[in-house]
Amino acid sequence: MLGYIIPVTWMTNFYYQKLRELLIVKSRSLHRVVLIDGLVFIGANVDTCLIFLSNHGNLQNGFEWSRTTPYNINAPTVMRSYESILSEERLAIAPDADAAWAQIKAKADNLSCRLDSLAKISLGMKLRTNDEFISRERNDSHPDPICFGDDISRYAPIIPSRFFHFQEAIIIGGTKRPEIHRAKPKIFIQAIRNLSLKRRIVATLDPKGICFVGTVNGVTLLKDEVDILYLLGLINSNFLNVYFRKRFTTISLTAAFLGALPIPQIDKTIITDKAHHDHMMALVGQMLDLQQRYKRITGELEKQQTQRSIEEINQQIDILVYELYNLTPEEIEIVEADSK
């Protein structure tokens, strides 16, 4: 028996598909996985797990699984069959083995199309060096605002604090195309989020066509079947946040992962579908307005009142999203419990 402590990214990341294939299909040597919630090593930014391999192969046709914390390694285990992993896209080992959640996920997937069938998801540019091309002051040499991941909060207005010259900057990676950067409106999503964070997806609207770096994903519509505000409400919803966290073990929210998010299909010729779509647009519009107002106000009482309104609209969006996925009260309770 061999044991290793390794980053959890091997479980779902695309780059490790061949490793998963070796352990589960070819050698059938994966004996036990212990997923550890929380950082084990000082200064680390990726969660870790323990894996145990049998050099004689595994006769149980599956592996032991547990999810625990650094302070309770000896948590109870359950069996996960190799067959259940073979049915997953790219042999991904989802970080949650709960049967009730598996049914919710299957329902959402069956009612939906993938996000990447409706929108293009682009990772921002990588400059040769940031120090060389970016300034904290806007001037003739740095006329163009550029968005970083730390400029993004849920539904909040983007207030860039960094500037560069798009035409003169040397871009060595990521999205270089001006039509992607200048597109408006588009959705911005933080591209780096640690696994320990309850909120894995943080997105807002870019109505101005701001350029963005590699800590940001830009989402632009490919089709006019839905409005971009409809997508923003879904992407920021509690349900898709739980869906992403339960399905993927990655701190990098790339197009490959975000593109797999299930988006409820809408037929605007059906009255109820159009009503749901338009209601989402209205709620997200209100949320964006409230966040704009919150940034401007200075009085503490008005801030508290606006924050309460934000929380109320956020709850209404989540309720509408549950309707779009046809979740039962029992299924909603499971999702809500997992988000706390």
| Segments making up each domain of the chain, as ranges | 2-96, 114-339
83: tokens are 């067959």
pLDDT of residue 77: 87
Q: Is residue 72's pLDDT more than 90?
A: no
Nearest one of 65, 98, 84 to 24, comparing CA atoms: 84
Cα separation, 340 vs 129, in Å, equals 39
Count of beta carbons in the 10 Å neighbourhood of residue 304: 10
Please indicate, yes or no, whether the overall pTM of this predicted structure exceeds 0.85.
Answer: yes
Cα-based distances in Å from 217 to 37, 223, 252, 318: 26, 18, 10, 23
Q: Which residues pair with 35 in a beta bridge?
A: 49, 67
The stretch 248-256 carries a mean pLDDT of: 89
Tens digits of residue pLDDT in 229-241: 999 999 999 999 9
pLDDT of residue 75: 79
Q: Is residue 30's pLDDT more than 90?
A: yes
- For residues 193 and 253, the answer to whether their CB atoms sit within 8 Å is yes
Q: Is residue 94's pLDDT more than 80?
A: yes
Q: In the structure, what pLDDT confidence band is assigned to residue 323 with cuts at 50, 70 and 90?
A: very high
The stretch 123-150 carries a mean pLDDT of: 97
The reply to whether omega before 178 is within 30° of 0 (cis) is: no
pLDDT of residue 57: 66
More confident residue, 40 or 281: 281
The amino acid present at 321, given as its one-letter code, is: V
Place of tokens 């956020």: 314
CB neighbour class for 245 (10 Å; exposed up to 12, middle 13-18, buried from 19)? buried
Determine the topology of domain 114-339 in CATH. Answer: Adenine-n6-DNA-methyltransferase TaqI; Chain A, domain 2 (3.90.220)
Q: Is residue 12's pLDDT more than 80?
A: yes
Determine the topology of domain 2-96 in CATH. Answer: Rossmann fold (3.40.50)
